[in-house]
Amino acid sequence: MAIAVSQPQAPARRARRNSPMYRAWQRYRKNWFAVAGLIWVIIFFIIGIIGPWIAPYSYTYADFLHMHSGPSWQHWFGTDTVGYDVFSQILYSIRYALEIALGATCVSFLIGVILGLWAGLAGGLIDIIVMRAVDFMFALPSFFFALILMVLLGKGIFPMILAIGVPGWAGYARLIRSLVLAMRNGEMVEAARALGASQWHIARKYMFPNVMGSMVVSLAFGIPYDLTAQAGLSIVGMGLNPPMPSFGNMLAQAGANILGFPWLLYFPAGVFAITLLSFLFVADGLQEAFNPKGGV
């Protein structure tokens, strides 16, 4: 018998220990990079929330007496060409970067889920139209799309969320559609129908729990992508206007001053790179953890 009945007094606890969620966490925990990434991501989120309160200077405060100064006790990460404190700038940037990246990912995801579900469940002509639209989106560089949208919408946080989020739906739509298609004709759904379950019951209790893992993983990969897109837009001058702090603005400025004031590059680029890596490690870890064939 494959079932160990050693602890009959606490079978409910045993069930929890064997639940797919718990086992996923067990697998996740074994991946050191993913755990380290998760810790940094959590710190990053906390900074995003409380950053403005712990920043030593306002992002509009320019210390004219200490322009281009290197790292010191006064300015931990140095100051830039107009005397802005780089450390404070980074703290503020994290908040805006997160707002935009999370917002954009949500927008992409929402559009993607709606269109993907629609295509997968309706099938036929709707499916064909949506999938050709997906092909179209994949054929065009989405960064180019974002640039056009920025021009149309003007600058600001909300336009940026839309500019990055709207072109990003195609990947999600394709994923959701394929998941729905695979399950719609699968035996699990057929069995549920044979039991007499309604469409809604099947979607809620059978389909959703089984696609949740894949959706979380794709979201986790989407956030670092949108973070890069957001910085990229600022680097080409289509992001937030200075003095609104953003990683892109800082990196663009640092690039121009790389010879004389390298700390302008080191600190923002370092924080940004670690952040991107952390998000990717988390996404990787999640993917491994949710892979249903990932062993125990």
**φ, ψ dihedrals at 62, nearest 5°:** -105, 125
Nearest to other proteins of 207, 223 (CB atom): 207
The nearest distance, CB 239 to other proteins, in angstroms, is 41
Nearest to other proteins of 209, 237 (CB atom): 209
For other proteins, the binding residues (CB under 8 A) are: 1-3, 5, 8, 11-12, 14-15, 18-20, 186-188, 190-198, 201, 205-206, 209-210, 292
Q: Two tokens at 77?
A: 């990460």
Handedness of CA 242, 246, 247, 248 (dihedral sign): negative
Report the C-alpha dihedral over residues 8, 13, 15, 16, rounded to 10 degrees: -170
The nearest distance, CB 195 to other proteins, in angstroms, is 5
Are 90 and 271 spatial neighbours (Cβ–Cβ below 8 Å)? yes
Say how far apart CA 220 and CA 231 lie, in whole Å.
Answer: 18
Nearest to other proteins of 13, 110 (CB atom): 13
The nearest distance, CB 3 to other proteins, in angstroms, is 6
The nearest distance, CB 286 to other proteins, in angstroms, is 16
Tell me the HSE value of 197 on the side-chain side, using a 13 A CA sphere.
17
Q: Is 79 helix (H, G, I), strand (E, B) or coil?
A: strand
The nearest distance, CB 212 to other proteins, in angstroms, is 8
Nearest to other proteins of 198, 241 (CB atom): 198
Nearest to other proteins of 14, 95 (CB atom): 14
Say how far apart CA 41 and CA 29 lie, in whole Å.
Answer: 15
